[in-house]
């Protein structure tokens, strides 16, 4: 194709996906499912290349802009990369079952399940995580710049999280080199009378880590250092790997 066509069916812009599909005749179409939801538009195959509407990429949270004859996807800034092994991503956003590594911590969300009312707060969600030390020395979340642990619901609101004192077994637990801890984080709605059916679905777990708040001493002497400028974890809880 000599230039980018910016119209498709109902005005959708098409983005090329490098899918391993057989060469099919022009105008072959497919129903499109995005994050488990059926999209209103379809994917099509033209001369063996598969195209999806730009609106589908927007549902996946991929920003886009069109200037002249150039369509730009993403923010325009290359993502920070971090080392990792099998089943790990270079980005710090992933799904349930994926291991994310920021140079210090390997985080994997293992399970998400409903929990009942507790300590004067309503029902909510329990998120079981596995946190492993990827450095050459022992350390803990508090010393590595932990700022917040949040669970965002499908309605965009944040669930109530236990006070730090209640989460000491996770936050202040010193993990040895190559060691790990499995822990259930508990998040609730504020109204203790709320029925479980009214609790929004859990959408995203966010663990915010600030390199500028790492504890002085051996942490700033080079023994522990993040390998990405944005080491926080964001795990989507509506997908799994």
| pLDDT value at 194 more than 80 | yes
The predicted pLDDT at position 46 comes to 81
Q: What is the CATH code of the structural domain delimited by 88-240?
A: 2.60.40.1240
Model confidence pTM above 0.75? no
Which H helix or E strand runs over 181? strand 180-188
pLDDT at 21 over 50: no
Q: Is residue 84 a contact partner of residue 90, using CB atoms and an 8 Å limit? A: yes
The pLDDT value given to residue 127: 96
Q: Does residue 200 carry a pLDDT above 80? A: yes
Angle at 84 (CA atoms; ends 80, 85), nearest 5 degrees: 150
Higher model confidence: residue 10 or residue 141?
Answer: 141
Query: Radius of gyration (Cα) for the chain, nearest Å?
Result: 22
pLDDT of 70: 81
Q: What is the mean pLDDT of the chain?
A: 78
User: Is 130 a residue whose pLDDT tops 90?
Assistant: yes
Distances in Å between the Cα of 220 and the Cα atoms of 60, 66, 143, 225 are 37, 43, 10, 8
For the chain, the domains span: 14-73, 88-240
Rounded Cα gap, residues 151 and 233, in angstroms: 12
pLDDT of residue 224: 82
Predicted confidence at residue 160, as pLDDT, reads: 85
What percent of the chain is predicted at pLDDT more than 70? 74
Q: Which residue has the higher pLDDT, 106 or 22?
A: 106
Between 228 and 111, the higher pLDDT residue: 111
The pLDDT assigned to 4 comes to 35
Decide if pLDDT at 91 tops 70: no
pLDDT score at 10: 35
pLDDT of residue 163: 62
| Rounded Cα distance, 154 and 137, in Å | 38
In the predicted structure, residue 206 carries a pLDDT above the cut 90 = yes
* Residue 20 pLDDT: 39
Residue 41 vs residue 185, higher pLDDT: 185
Residues facing 234 on adjacent strands: 93, 206
Give the length of the chain: 241
Q: When comparing pLDDT for 132 and 21, which is higher?
A: 132
Please tell me the distance from the alpha carbon of residue 118 to that of residue 77, in angstroms, as a whole number.
Answer: 43
Per residue in 152-163, pLDDT tens?
999 889 998 866
């Amino acid at each position: 194709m000599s230039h980018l066509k910016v119209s498709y069916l109902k005005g959708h812009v098409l983005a090329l996906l490098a899918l391993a599909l057989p060469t099919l005749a022009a105008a072959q179409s497919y129903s499109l499912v995005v994050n488990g939801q059926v999209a209103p538009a379809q994917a099509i195959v033209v001369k063996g290349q598969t195209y999806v509407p730009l609106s589908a990429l927007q549902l996946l949270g991929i920003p886009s802009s069109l200037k002249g004859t150039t369509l730009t996807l993403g923010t325009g800034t290359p993502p920070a990369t971090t080392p990792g092994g099998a089943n790990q991503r270079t980005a710090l956003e992933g799904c349930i079952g994926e291991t994310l590594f920021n140079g210090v911590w390997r985080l994997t969300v293992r399970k998400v399940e409903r929990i009942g009312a507790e300590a004067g707060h309503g029902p909510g969600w329990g998120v079981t995580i596995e946190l492993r030390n990827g450095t050459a020395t022992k350390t803990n979340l508090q010393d590595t710049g932990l700022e917040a642990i949040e669970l965002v619901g499908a309605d965009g609101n944040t669930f109530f999280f236990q006070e730090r004192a209640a989460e000491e077994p996770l936050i202040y637990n010193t993990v040895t080199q190559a060691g790990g801890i499995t822990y259930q984080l508990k998040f609730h709605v504020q109204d203790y009378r709320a029925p479980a059916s009214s609790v929004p679905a859990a959408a995203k777990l966010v663990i915010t880590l600030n390199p500028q708040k790492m504890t002085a001493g051996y942490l700033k002497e080079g023994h522990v250092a993040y390998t990405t400028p944005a080491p926080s974890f964001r795990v989507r809880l509506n997908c799994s790997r």
